[in-house]
């Protein structure tokens, strides 16, 4: 089984070592805080932060490359090139700094490919294509192009999801409908479409909605979002829609997401039973509370379900414990393998 399980963006030290975590977590000062000083001081602060983030990216990729093959999947944190296309930092982004970024990202991409690490990115929640606000669509397109440029510099700029690379977004506003989503897709550059994926969410666009655009763009299924959106349906590996998801990837191994409701919300829930949306609702749990991501992969029944899906997709774990949670799931899957 050629499967991967990965984590997203930041590292959590299993021993609580803050220094270890700092070595593997991007710096994220705001554009406002960097531009505040002005002039040369702003340029120096930006350069220092960007170079540090590039160093961190290299360490992140090296760490994931050293993991067992099952765990060589990693989502790069969006926004690590602070203000890459923002007018407030246009002067601070000198040609020399941009050249350094191009060189260092090329090296990072080579390291990822040499280490057999599959990479993805997930722009912020505002990067949506189905919207009734033209300015929101313009901003989303700019964000998508920024991520495209990052992947191009990493060496993933040619062809359909090379090495499984992807830029993942949500659909957007339900009011805009599939017509709005298609209209937004019409404006995405072809090179970005080749890397783009769209994920089902909990309230606006479910899996069945997104399959309507599966001929245009690859679909990422989030199993937990599907459970929330459908008010209780856990997508099974033999569900006919799995073949439609696979078809949207056109021969590339699909990517999926998993999370579980928070431990402090579904307190004392049996870890060997799939969460039952109807029963939890009857007990007074609101969907908004059930949507939150857990610390770890505490539910063995969910883990077993995901293990069944690994026959056809790779899975990013969206949990607050990050690498600790993805290791939990990976260890669960390894324990299922014959001795």
Integer Cα distance of 79 and 123 in angstroms = 8
Does residue 107 lie within any of the structural domains? no
Domain membership flag for residue 192: yes
Is 255 part of any domain?
yes
281 CB neighbour count, 10 Å cutoff: 14
Round to whole Å and give the CA distance between 317 and 264: 18
pLDDT in tens, 18-31: 999 999 999 999 99
Is position 79 within any domain? yes
Asked, for residue 1, whether it belongs to a domain, the answer is no
Instruction: State how far the Cα of 152 lies from the Cα of 237, in Å rounded to an integer.
Output: 33
pLDDT recorded at residue 242 = 99
0.95 cut: is pTM over it? yes
Give pLDDT tens digits for 12-59.
Answer: 999 999 999 999 999 999 999 999 988 899 999 999 999 999 999 999
User: Residue 231's domain is classified under what CATH number?
Assistant: 3.20.20.150
Range of the domain at 147: 72-89+117-336
Residue 127: HSE in the Cβ half-sphere, 13 Å Cα cutoff: 21
As for how many domains the chain has, the answer is 1
Residue 189 has pLDDT above 90, yes or no: yes
Please state, in angstroms and as integers, the Cα–Cα distance from residue 141 to each residue in 13, 124, 162, 189, 251, following that order.
35, 12, 21, 9, 26
The average pLDDT across 271-286 equals 96
- For 277, other C-beta atoms within 10 Å of its C-beta total 19
Q: Tell me the per-residue pLDDT of 146-183, one tens digit each, with 9 for 90 and over.
A: 999 999 999 999 999 999 999 999 999 999 999 999 99
* pLDDT (tens digit per residue) in 214-264: 999 999 999 999 999 999 999 999 999 999 999 999 999 999 999 999 999
Instruction: For residue range 65-115, list pLDDT tens digits in order.
Output: 999 999 999 999 999 999 999 999 999 999 999 999 999 999 999 999 999
Q: What is residue 257's three-state secondary structure? A: strand
Is 78 among the domain residues?
A: yes
- Cβ-proximal residues to 334 (8 Å cutoff; 6+ apart), any chain: 70
Tell me if 65 is assigned to some domain: no
* Alpha-carbon span 86 to 1, nearest angstrom: 43
Determine the 3-state secondary structure of 328 from DSSP: helix
H or E stretch covering 227: helix 223-229
Predicted confidence (pLDDT) per residue in 214-224, tens digit: 999 999 999 99
Assigned domain for 13 exists:
no
What is the pLDDT, as a whole number, of residue 1?
58
d(CA 305, CA 302): 5
- Asked if 332 and 297 count as a contact pair (C-beta separation under 8 A), the reply is yes
Mean pLDDT of 292-303: 97
Residues 59, 66: Cα–Cα separation, whole Å: 11
């Amino acid at each position: 089984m050629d499967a991967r399980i990965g984590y997203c963006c930041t590292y959590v030290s299993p021993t609580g070592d803050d220094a270890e975590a700092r070595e593997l977590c991007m710096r994220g000062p705001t554009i406002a805080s960097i531009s505040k000083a002005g002039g040369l001081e702003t340029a120096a602060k930006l350069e220092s932060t960007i170079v540090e983030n590039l160093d961190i990216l290299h360490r992140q990729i090296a760490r994931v490359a050293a993991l067992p093959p099952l765990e060589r999947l990693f989502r790069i944190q969006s926004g690590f090139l602070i203000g890459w296309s923002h007018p407030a930092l246009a002067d601070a982004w000198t040609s020399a700094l941009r050249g350094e970024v191009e060189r260092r990202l090329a090296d990072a991409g080579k390291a990822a490919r040499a280490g057999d690490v599959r990479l993805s990115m997930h722009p912020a929640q505002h990067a949506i294509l189905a919207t009734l606000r033209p300015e929101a669509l313009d901003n989303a397109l700019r964000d998508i192009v920024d991520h495209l440029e990052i992947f191009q510099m990493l060496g993933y700029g040619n062809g359909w999801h090379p090495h499984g690379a992807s830029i993942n977004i949500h659909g957007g506003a339900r009011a805009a409908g599939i017509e709005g989503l298609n209209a937004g897709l019409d404006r995405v550059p072809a090179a970005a479409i080749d890397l783009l994926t769209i994920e089902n969410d909990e309230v606006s666009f479910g899996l069945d909605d997104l399959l309507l655009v599966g001929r245009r763009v690859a679909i990422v299924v989030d199993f937990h979002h599907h459970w929330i959106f459908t008010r209780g349906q856990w997508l099974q590996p033999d569900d006919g829609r799995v073949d439609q998801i696979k078809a949207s990837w056109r021969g590339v191994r699909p990517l999926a997401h998993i999370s579980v409701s928070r431990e402090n919300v579904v307190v004392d829930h049996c870890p060997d039973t799939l969460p039952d949306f109807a029963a939890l609702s009857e007990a007074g749990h609101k969907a908004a509370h059930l949507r939150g991501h857990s610390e770890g992969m505490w539910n063995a029944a969910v883990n077993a379900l995901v293990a069944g899906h690994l026959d056809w997709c790779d899975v990013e774990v969206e949990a607050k414990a990050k690498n600790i949670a993805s290791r939990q799931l990976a260890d669960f899957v390894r324990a299922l393998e014959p001795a």
